[in-house]
Amino acid sequence: MHHAHGTFTVDVRPISPAPAEGVSRYSLDKQIQGDLEATTKGEMLGGGDPKQGTAGYVAMEMVTGTLSGKHGSFALQHSGTMDQDGPKMTVIVVPGSGTGELKGIAGTFIIHIDKSGHSYDFDYSLPD
């Protein structure tokens, strides 16, 4: 298992029309720095009331760039909720989505959000 760490910025924009009443749709564009140097494009669906601290989302995004010197792309699948107990988020590499030198990649992408911005820890494996 390998470990990557760094920071990222994200641009989230609403997409119209929404798929259904009570569900929102957004575009995701990220710039990732650190052990992973990449850009992403994706979409997110959300529901609930984030202003009240209760909501959920799912998202898919395609990551393209260089990870510890290896170039390629892979997809990340997100699932998250927030409630009175706080946020819960899972972001995994979609099996079979790796291309180029990242073909066969597997792993878990952990997102950290605080007052200073967004950062990540990425535990991943690649075939020999």
Domain assignments of the chain as residue spans, ordered by start: 2-125
Helix (H) or strand (E) holding 106: strand 106-114
Closest CA to 119 of 51, 32, 53, 55: 32
Averaged pLDDT, 53-80: 97
Query: How many whole angstroms separate alpha carbon 39 and alpha carbon 41?
Result: 7
pLDDT of residue 86 exceeding 90, the answer is no
Closest CA to 56 of 16, 27, 22, 30: 22
44-66 per-position pLDDT tens digit: 999 998 888 899 999 999 999 99
Helix (H) or strand (E) holding 47: strand 36-49
Residue whose token pair is 């989505």: 97
30-42 per-position pLDDT tens digit: 999 999 999 999 9
Tell the CATH topology of 2-125. AOC barrel-like (2.40.350)
